[in-house]
Amino acid sequence: MIEVKNLLKIFEGRGQVVRAVDDVSTQVAKGEVVVVIGPSGSGKSTFLRCLNGLEEFDDGQVIIDGIDIASSATNLNAVRREVGMVFQHFNLFPHKTVLENVTLAQRVVRKRKAAEAKDKAMALLTKVGIAEKANEYPSRLSGGQQQRVAIARALAMDPKVMLFDEPTSALDPEMVGEVLDVMKQLAREGMTMAVVTHEMGFAREVAQRVLFMDVGKVLEDAPPAEFFTAPKEPRAQAFLKQVL
Protein backbone atom coordinates (compact mmCIF):
# COMPACT_ATOMS: atom_id res chain seq x y z
CA MET A 1 0.00 0.00 0.00
CA ILE A 2 2.88 2.35 0.88
CA GLU A 3 6.24 1.94 -0.75
CA VAL A 4 9.21 4.15 0.11
CA LYS A 5 12.45 4.00 -1.83
CA ASN A 6 15.63 5.84 -0.86
CA LEU A 7 13.68 8.76 0.61
CA LEU A 8 15.81 11.82 1.32
CA LYS A 9 14.68 15.06 2.97
CA ILE A 10 17.17 17.81 3.73
CA PHE A 11 16.44 20.96 5.71
CA GLU A 12 18.76 23.87 5.07
CA GLY A 13 18.76 26.96 7.16
CA ARG A 14 20.99 29.21 9.22
CA GLY A 15 24.07 27.59 7.72
CA GLN A 16 23.01 24.16 8.94
CA VAL A 17 22.13 21.23 6.78
CA VAL A 18 19.93 18.63 8.45
CA ARG A 19 19.35 15.31 6.75
CA ALA A 20 15.99 14.83 8.48
CA VAL A 21 15.18 11.69 6.49
CA ASP A 22 18.29 10.01 5.19
CA ASP A 23 17.92 7.31 2.56
CA VAL A 24 14.94 5.48 4.03
CA SER A 25 13.40 2.53 2.20
CA THR A 26 10.50 0.54 3.56
CA GLN A 27 7.00 -0.56 2.72
CA VAL A 28 3.66 -1.00 4.46
CA ALA A 29 1.36 -3.73 3.25
CA LYS A 30 -2.41 -3.37 2.99
CA GLY A 31 -4.00 -3.76 6.43
CA GLU A 32 -0.64 -3.59 8.17
CA VAL A 33 0.04 -1.42 11.23
CA VAL A 34 3.56 -0.06 11.46
CA VAL A 35 4.75 1.88 14.50
CA VAL A 36 7.65 4.30 14.15
CA ILE A 37 9.61 5.06 17.30
CA GLY A 38 12.82 6.92 17.99
CA PRO A 39 14.27 9.80 19.97
CA SER A 40 13.04 13.35 19.48
CA GLY A 41 14.46 14.99 16.36
CA SER A 42 15.20 11.68 14.70
CA GLY A 43 13.02 12.54 11.69
CA LYS A 44 9.86 10.55 12.48
CA SER A 45 7.45 13.43 11.78
CA THR A 46 9.31 14.46 8.67
CA PHE A 47 9.20 10.90 7.38
CA LEU A 48 5.47 10.68 7.98
CA ARG A 49 4.83 14.07 6.38
CA CYS A 50 6.71 12.98 3.26
CA LEU A 51 4.25 10.12 2.87
CA ASN A 52 1.37 12.49 2.00
CA GLY A 53 3.51 15.16 0.39
CA LEU A 54 3.20 17.73 3.20
CA GLU A 55 6.99 17.91 2.97
CA GLU A 56 8.53 18.13 -0.48
CA PHE A 57 11.30 15.57 -0.31
CA ASP A 58 14.61 15.98 -2.09
CA ASP A 59 15.13 12.53 -3.51
CA GLY A 60 13.68 9.03 -3.62
CA GLN A 61 10.17 7.77 -4.23
CA VAL A 62 6.95 7.46 -2.28
CA ILE A 63 4.36 5.23 -3.89
CA ILE A 64 0.88 5.18 -2.40
CA ASP A 65 -1.44 2.47 -3.72
CA GLY A 66 0.59 2.29 -6.93
CA ILE A 67 0.81 6.06 -7.47
CA ASP A 68 4.16 7.83 -7.38
CA ILE A 69 3.30 11.01 -5.45
CA ALA A 70 6.32 12.99 -6.67
CA SER A 71 5.58 12.34 -10.35
CA SER A 72 4.58 15.46 -12.24
CA ALA A 73 1.57 13.60 -13.63
CA THR A 74 0.19 13.02 -10.13
CA ASN A 75 -2.47 15.26 -8.63
CA LEU A 76 -1.23 15.47 -5.05
CA ASN A 77 -4.64 16.61 -3.78
CA ALA A 78 -6.18 13.45 -5.18
CA VAL A 79 -3.57 11.32 -3.38
CA ARG A 80 -4.08 13.14 -0.08
CA ARG A 81 -7.79 12.29 -0.14
CA GLU A 82 -6.78 8.66 0.20
CA VAL A 83 -4.29 9.31 3.01
CA GLY A 84 -5.73 10.48 6.33
CA MET A 85 -3.48 12.26 8.78
CA VAL A 86 -3.85 12.86 12.51
CA PHE A 87 -1.61 15.46 14.14
CA GLN A 88 -0.10 15.81 17.58
CA HIS A 89 -1.95 19.08 18.17
CA PHE A 90 -5.25 17.96 16.57
CA ASN A 91 -5.45 21.02 14.28
CA LEU A 92 -9.24 21.08 14.32
CA PHE A 93 -10.79 24.07 12.54
CA PRO A 94 -11.72 26.35 15.46
CA HIS A 95 -14.27 28.39 13.50
CA LYS A 96 -16.32 25.32 12.61
CA THR A 97 -18.44 23.13 14.84
CA VAL A 98 -17.43 19.52 15.42
CA LEU A 99 -19.95 18.41 12.82
CA GLU A 100 -18.74 20.98 10.28
CA ASN A 101 -15.15 19.89 10.91
CA VAL A 102 -16.12 16.39 9.78
CA THR A 103 -18.39 17.41 6.89
CA LEU A 104 -16.36 20.25 5.33
CA ALA A 105 -13.83 18.22 3.33
CA GLN A 106 -16.49 15.70 2.36
CA ARG A 107 -18.46 18.53 0.77
CA VAL A 108 -15.54 20.45 -0.71
CA VAL A 109 -13.25 17.62 -1.78
CA ARG A 110 -15.51 14.59 -2.20
CA LYS A 111 -18.41 16.76 -3.43
CA ARG A 112 -20.91 14.88 -1.30
CA LYS A 113 -24.40 16.25 -0.71
CA ALA A 114 -25.06 17.95 2.63
CA ALA A 115 -27.31 15.17 3.93
CA GLU A 116 -24.94 12.41 2.89
CA ALA A 117 -21.97 14.18 4.47
CA LYS A 118 -23.90 14.74 7.67
CA ASP A 119 -25.00 11.12 7.93
CA LYS A 120 -21.44 9.96 7.38
CA ALA A 121 -20.14 12.46 9.95
CA MET A 122 -22.68 11.46 12.59
CA ALA A 123 -21.90 7.78 12.05
CA LEU A 124 -18.18 8.44 12.51
CA LEU A 125 -18.70 10.70 15.53
CA THR A 126 -20.80 7.94 17.07
CA LYS A 127 -18.05 5.48 16.32
CA VAL A 128 -15.44 7.59 18.13
CA GLY A 129 -17.97 8.15 20.93
CA ILE A 130 -18.52 11.90 20.63
CA ALA A 131 -21.79 12.29 18.72
CA GLU A 132 -23.39 14.30 21.54
CA LYS A 133 -20.85 17.11 20.98
CA ALA A 134 -21.61 17.45 17.26
CA ASN A 135 -22.79 21.04 17.54
CA GLU A 136 -20.12 22.29 19.94
CA TYR A 137 -17.10 24.29 18.85
CA PRO A 138 -13.74 22.48 19.29
CA SER A 139 -12.59 24.91 21.99
CA ARG A 140 -15.27 23.47 24.28
CA LEU A 141 -13.86 19.94 24.03
CA SER A 142 -11.13 18.24 26.03
CA GLY A 143 -7.91 17.21 24.28
CA GLY A 144 -8.93 13.59 24.05
CA GLN A 145 -12.30 14.54 22.58
CA GLN A 146 -10.66 16.87 20.07
CA GLN A 147 -8.27 14.15 18.94
CA ARG A 148 -11.15 11.72 18.44
CA VAL A 149 -12.92 14.34 16.32
CA ALA A 150 -9.72 14.76 14.32
CA ILE A 151 -9.67 11.01 13.67
CA ALA A 152 -13.32 11.11 12.57
CA ARG A 153 -12.51 14.05 10.29
CA ALA A 154 -9.75 12.07 8.57
CA LEU A 155 -11.87 8.92 8.33
CA ALA A 156 -14.70 10.84 6.69
CA MET A 157 -12.68 10.92 3.48
CA ASP A 158 -12.68 7.09 3.37
CA PRO A 159 -8.88 6.96 3.31
CA LYS A 160 -6.97 3.85 2.34
CA VAL A 161 -4.15 4.73 4.72
CA MET A 162 -4.04 6.56 8.04
CA LEU A 163 -0.96 8.39 9.32
CA PHE A 164 -0.73 9.29 13.01
CA ASP A 165 1.97 11.68 14.28
CA GLU A 166 2.22 11.29 18.05
CA PRO A 167 -1.57 11.44 18.43
CA THR A 168 -1.47 11.11 22.22
CA SER A 169 1.63 13.17 23.10
CA ALA A 170 -0.27 16.39 23.76
CA LEU A 171 -2.91 14.71 25.91
CA ASP A 172 -3.32 14.51 29.66
CA PRO A 173 -2.55 10.93 30.76
CA GLU A 174 -6.16 10.09 31.59
CA MET A 175 -7.22 10.85 28.00
CA VAL A 176 -4.61 8.77 26.23
CA GLY A 177 -6.61 5.57 26.60
CA GLU A 178 -9.75 6.83 24.86
CA VAL A 179 -7.75 7.83 21.76
CA LEU A 180 -5.71 4.63 21.69
CA ASP A 181 -8.93 2.60 21.94
CA VAL A 182 -10.25 4.26 18.79
CA MET A 183 -6.96 3.55 17.01
CA LYS A 184 -6.95 -0.08 18.13
CA GLN A 185 -10.46 -0.53 16.80
CA LEU A 186 -9.39 0.94 13.46
CA ALA A 187 -6.47 -1.49 13.33
CA ARG A 188 -8.79 -4.43 14.03
CA GLU A 189 -11.03 -3.30 11.18
CA GLY A 190 -8.07 -3.69 8.82
CA MET A 191 -6.98 -0.08 8.27
CA THR A 192 -3.47 0.38 6.94
CA MET A 193 -1.71 2.56 9.51
CA ALA A 194 1.64 4.25 10.08
CA VAL A 195 1.86 5.49 13.65
CA VAL A 196 4.56 7.59 15.27
CA THR A 197 4.14 7.13 19.00
CA HIS A 198 5.84 6.71 22.34
CA GLU A 199 3.08 4.37 23.53
CA MET A 200 5.02 1.11 23.70
CA GLY A 201 1.96 -0.76 24.93
CA PHE A 202 0.10 0.19 21.78
CA ALA A 203 3.05 -0.89 19.64
CA ARG A 204 3.24 -4.27 21.36
CA GLU A 205 -0.47 -4.91 21.13
CA VAL A 206 -1.35 -3.64 17.67
CA ALA A 207 1.70 -3.27 15.46
CA GLN A 208 2.88 -5.89 13.02
CA ARG A 209 6.23 -4.12 12.72
CA VAL A 210 8.20 -1.52 14.62
CA LEU A 211 10.59 0.85 12.83
CA PHE A 212 13.26 2.44 14.98
CA MET A 213 14.58 5.75 13.60
CA ASP A 214 17.59 7.78 14.61
CA VAL A 215 19.28 10.75 12.86
CA GLY A 216 17.07 10.28 9.81
CA LYS A 217 17.76 6.60 9.30
CA VAL A 218 15.67 3.52 9.96
CA LEU A 219 18.07 1.51 12.09
CA GLU A 220 15.80 -1.39 12.93
CA ASP A 221 12.70 -2.94 11.40
CA ALA A 222 11.29 -5.84 13.37
CA PRO A 223 8.09 -7.33 14.79
CA PRO A 224 7.35 -5.82 18.23
CA ALA A 225 7.92 -9.04 20.15
CA GLU A 226 11.40 -9.24 18.70
CA PHE A 227 12.18 -5.53 18.90
CA PHE A 228 11.16 -5.04 22.51
CA THR A 229 12.82 -8.17 23.85
CA ALA A 230 15.97 -8.33 21.76
CA PRO A 231 16.82 -5.10 19.90
CA LYS A 232 19.89 -5.55 17.72
CA GLU A 233 21.04 -1.96 17.42
CA PRO A 234 22.95 -0.46 20.37
CA ARG A 235 21.12 2.83 19.93
CA ALA A 236 17.75 1.07 19.98
CA GLN A 237 18.83 -0.70 23.14
CA ALA A 238 19.81 2.61 24.73
CA PHE A 239 16.56 4.23 23.68
CA LEU A 240 14.44 1.40 25.03
CA LYS A 241 16.31 1.49 28.32
CA GLN A 242 15.35 5.15 28.66
CA VAL A 243 11.65 4.87 27.84
CA LEU A 244 10.73 1.53 29.40
Contacts with another protein, residue ranges (CB under 8 A): 52, 54, 77-78, 80-81, 83-85, 87, 89, 91-96, 104-105, 108-109, 137, 139, 150, 153-154, 157
Provide the angle, in degrees to the nearest 10, between the axes of the packed helices 98-108 and 114-127.
Answer: 130
Binding at 30: pick from Mg ion, ligand ADP, another protein, none (beta carbon under 5-8 Å per type)? none
157 versus 222: smaller Cβ distance to another protein: 157
Cα(108)–Cα(38) distance, integer angstroms: 37
Q: Determine contact, residues 244/71, Cβ cutoff 8 Å.
A: no
Binding at 89: pick from ligand ADP, another protein, Mg ion, none (beta carbon under 5-8 Å per type)? another protein
117 versus 195: smaller Cβ distance to Mg ion: 195
Which element (helix H / strand E) includes 170?
Answer: none
CB of 49 to ligand ADP, least distance (A): 8
Binding at 87: pick from another protein, Mg ion, ligand ADP, none (beta carbon under 5-8 Å per type)? another protein
Binding at 13: pick from another protein, ligand ADP, Mg ion, none (beta carbon under 5-8 Å per type)? ligand ADP
**Between residue 19 and residue 48, which ones bind ligand ADP under the rule CB under 6 A?**
20, 38, 40-46
Cα(120)–Cα(60) distance, integer angstroms: 37
Which element (helix H / strand E) includes 196?
Answer: strand 192-196
Please name the residues in contact with 173: beta carbons below 8 A apart, sequence gap of 6 or more.
none
- The reply to whether 13 sits near ligand ADP by the rule CB under 6 A is yes
Please name the residues in contact with 215: beta carbons below 8 A apart, sequence gap of 6 or more.
19, 22, 42, 43
Give CA angle at 151 (175, 220), nearest 5°.
80
Mind giving me the DSSP string for 199-218? -HHHHHHH-SEEEEEETTEE
45 versus 103: smaller Cβ distance to ligand ADP: 45
Binding at 18: pick from another protein, Mg ion, ligand ADP, none (beta carbon under 5-8 Å per type)? ligand ADP
- The reply to whether 18 sits near ligand ADP by the rule CB under 6 A is yes
Binding at 83: pick from another protein, Mg ion, ligand ADP, none (beta carbon under 5-8 Å per type)? another protein
